[in-house]
Chains A and B, each alone.
Chain A
Amino acid sequence: MNNKTKYDAIKIREDFPVLFQEVNGKPLVYLDNAATTQKPLSVIRKISEYYEKYNSNIHRGVHFLSQKATAEYENSREIVRRFINAKSTKEIIFLRGTTEGINLVANSFGKSNLKAGDEILISHMEHHSNIVPWQLLCEVTGAVLKVIPISDNGELDFDAYKNLLSERTKIVGIVHQSNTLGTENPVKAMAKLAHDAGAIIVVDGAQSIQHFAVDVQDLDCDFYAFSGHKLYGPTGTGVLFGKESLLSTMPPFQGGGDMIASVTFEKTIYNSLPYKFEAGTPNIEGVIALGAAIEYIEGIGLDNIYSYEKELYSYTAEKMSEYPEIKLIGSAPKKGGVFSFVIDNIHPHDIGTIFDLEGVAIRTGHLCTQPVMKRFNIPAVSRVSLGIYNTKEDIDRAAAVVKKVLEVFA
C-alpha cells in the first residue's frame, strides 16, 4: 500500500481469522494489542508450511529438508536486518522475546563490564522486564540502579535524565514506547547523551516496533530488543539487535549446541556472530513465520500504520472524553495508540469483566508496570490498545461498554 492508497482497516481485518467470532454472544472486538497482536493468515500458513514441507533442524543437517529450513530461518534474519536497518545480519540474534533480549544484555554485557558503584539508569515507566534484569545485575555486581522520573502527563523528565547521567553511568535502559502510558521516548537524543557520558543504551522496543519505523543506525542505539508476538508474529520469538562491535566482545549468554565452533573437554571455541548467542535448537517455525509477519507489515507500510493508528487514537480519546468520569493515565504530547484509564470507585477488574461480557477484549491490571501504578497512586488501570485491524466501530463498541459500566455502578 502506498501513501496515496486509503488505509483500509476492513480489508486488513479479513486477513485475521480470529477476529471473526462471537464472544458472549457479541461479535468480538479485540483491543488488547499491547498484550499481544492477532496473527494474519500469511503467518499462520507459514507455520503450517514449515511443518508440512520442511520441518527439520537447522545449521547442521546436510540433507535437503535441513538446508531448506536453514535457508528460510536465515532469510528471516535478513528480513529483520532490513526491517530495522541493521548493518549486518551478525547483529540480529533470535531469542524468545524482549525479556530474554534484555536478560542477555544484562548477563553477558553487564556481568563482564560493570563493577560496584557503576550506575544503571532506567526510567520510571519501564515494564518489569526492563527493571528486574538490571536489579539482578546490581545484586551480582554491586552496581546501582537509578530511575529517571516522569511528569504527571507521563512524559520522561529529560532534564532529570541529563542530570542523572555521569561518568558512573554504564547502561541506560529505556522503553521506546510505554505499554501503559503510550509515551514515545526520545531514544535518539537519549542515545547521544548516553554515549557522550560513556554509557551504552539498551532500548525495549516491545511496544514500538509494530507501530512506527525503527532504524537502529539512525537511533544509534547499542541494543534494541523486541518480541515477535506483538508484531503480528508467533509467540516465543524475539529479536535482539546489538552492535557488532559490542556483541563480538561479549561472552555467550547460554552454552549448548549451535553456539560452538569446536568443543573439547579442555577448551571450547565459540561460534561466530550471531550464532554465539543462539544456543540450542531455536523456535524454528516461529522465526520463519516472524519473517512472514514482518513482510505482511511492510506490505501495509509502517508509515501508513503510524498515521492510521494516530488518527484512531484521536478518535478514541475524543469518544472517551464524552464521559467525564474517565480519567486518562498518560497524556504525553507524543504518544501511541494506548488509552489507559481509571474511573473513580470502579475497579479495573470489574470494568474488564463487563467489557468481556460485551465481547470487547481489553487489558486490566497493573500491566507489569507497578512503579507506574504507584507513581499515579492507582492500584490498576483499564487499557484499550490499538492495532492495525481496529476500526472506529470498535472504539464505538468500547465507548458503549463504558456507558454500561457507569450504569451498573451508578
Chain B
Amino acid sequence: MELAENIIQKRPEGLSSPSKKKQRKYQHTLTKQTGAKCTIFPTKHIGICNSGLVNGLSEEVVYEHFSKYGKIEQILMLPGKSCCFVSFDDIKCSTKAFNNINGVLNIAQYLKPVFLSFVENIPESLIEANLKHDSDPPNGLIILENFITDSEERAFLALNDFNRLGSSLKHRQVKHYGYEFKYDINNVDLNCPLEEKIPKECDILWERLRIAYPQLIFVEPDQLTVNCYKPGQGIPSHVDTHSAFEDPIFILSLGSAIVMDFKNDNGDHHSLLIPQKSFVIMSGESRYAYTHGITPRKLDILQTKAGLTVFHRAIRVSFTFRKVRNGKCCCKFHSKCDSYLRTHEKSYTAFGQLAERVEETHVHKVYENIAQHFSETRHKPWPNVVDFIKSFETGSLLVDVGCGNGKYMNCGQNIFQIGLDTSISLLNVCREKQYQVLLGNCLRIPLLDNVADGAISIAVIHHLSTEERRFSAIRELLRILKAGGRVLVYVWAKEQKHRNEKSSYLKQDRKNRRCEENEAVSNEKLTLVDGVEIPIHTNRTQFKHQDVLVPWKLKKNSGKSLNTGTDESQTFLRYYHVFKEGELENMCAQFNSKLLHSYYDQGNWCVILEKK
C-alpha cells in the first residue's frame, strides 16, 4: 500500500514544505474538531480539513468536485464546523480524488486550496448526530406518489405558458388563480377576487383524492398559486400565513422531483423528496408548526442510511391549492400563528427618542456597570471571526465597530485595526493592551467614507432597538468601507437550536444537557418608559420573543460596580433584538452590496458583505 505522504511527493509540482506544515496543522484541527483519526494510509474516507459549512462550502460543491473520481457513498457536512467528510465506495477512487484535489482545488474560503486527510473512520456519533435530516415526513404530511399520469402531467403543464408570464419574483415565476397572494402583506385580499378562477382541469384531483384518501376531511380549494422553478432556484423557508388559508394545503408537483425542507421550533429538520407527479397533503402540524422551503441549488443530495442519491433538478412547476380562510385561525401552534400573535403578543415597538432611552439604560449603562466582569468572561475569540480578520493582506485598515474589550483587536497580521465602542470602561481595557480605540456610537462612526478595507460588527447590531436603527448600523458599516471592502456581521439568533444541535449558549445550562428542553418561561415583565413593556428572558433557554431583556448577574464581590462600589449581588438587564433566520440577510439585501456568505455560528446569524 502506498503512503499518502509518498503520493504527495509524487505529484508533479510537489508540495512545498510550508504546505506540508500547514497540512499537519489542518489534520490536527480536524481531529480536534471531530475526533476522527487521521492516517497516512489511503482509506475510503477523506476529511476536508479546512473548509465546511461555516466557510460557505456546500454539499453540492463537494459532490460536484469529488464525484468526478468515483462513486461517493456519503458526504457529511457538520453544522458550525470548518471541516467535513467524503466517503467513497472504494479506495482507488478516494486515492484518485485525494491526489487530484489535495492542496490544489480552490474551494476553501477566500478561494484558497482545500487540504485533505485520509481518516481511519468517520466516528459513528458524528454520523448519528448529523445524518439528522429525517427523511420521514413530519406529522400531518402525506405524499401520494404517481397521483397523475404522464399525459395528465402534460395537460397541467400546458395550462400555463411561463415564457409568456409577466409576473416574476426574484427567484421564481408565479401565477395566481382565485385570489392573488400578496407577498408584501403575506395574505390575500378577500374583497378582491381574481377574474380567473381555478381551471376546471383541476377538478379531477378532488375526485381522485376522495378515493385515494377517503378519511381526509377537506373543502375544495378556491385559490391556486402556480410556481415555476428553474434548476438553481428555490423558495425561502416559510409558513403559509395561518389566517390566510385553511388546513389542509395541497401541492401538485410537475416536471421534476425536488427536496423540500421542513423545520420546526424544536430544531427538527426533515428533508423530503417530493417526486414528480406526486400530490402532497400538508395538514395539521406540518401545515401550522413547520416552515417549508426549497434550497436554491441545481441538484439535490439525499442521504439515508442506505447511501447517497443525487437528483439533478429540471424545471419544476408546482400547483399549490389552498382554501381561503374567512376569519381568525384557532390552531394550537401559537408560535407560528399570526392570529394568535396579533392578539396575545404585546409587541414591542420603540421609536425615536424612546429607542435611544432603551439603549442608553439597557445597553450602554449596563455594559459600563458589568465591564470588568464582562471582560473577564469574554476572552476567547470565535475562530471564524479570526479567520475573517486574517484574510486581510498586509497594510489593510480594519475597523471593529463595537470592539468591547478588544478580543479581536490583535487577531490580524500586519494590518491596522481601530476599535469603536460606547463603553469607556471596556475601551480602557483595550488601552491597557495599547489598542487604537475610539469612544463613539455605531450609528455615527466618526470615520471618513470609503476608507476601510474591512470591518467587523460582532454581537452589536442586536442591541439596537428598532429596525430602522439596525438598518442604519449596516449602512454605516458599508459607508466607511472602500469599494471591494468586506464586512462581517454577527447577531444573536432567536433560534438557539440549529439542525438539531443546541448552541453553546443553551448547553451551558446543566439542566439542558440532561433533559429534553427547559420549558421554564419567565412571566416577569418590565415596564419601561411610555408604558412599553419588554419581556425578560430566562437565561440558557430558547428565546420566546424577539425583543427581550437578558439578565446579567453580577455575583457578590466579583467585578464591583465601578460607579457605586457596592458589593451586593446585582442583576442588570441588557436589551436584545434576537434575529430570526433570514432576517439579517433580508436586511442586507437592501443595500448596494454583495452577500458573499451567510451562515450560523455559535448561536448567531452571520453574513459577509462586499461593498460594490
- The judgment on whether A and B are partners is no
Interface residues of A (CB under 8 A from B): none
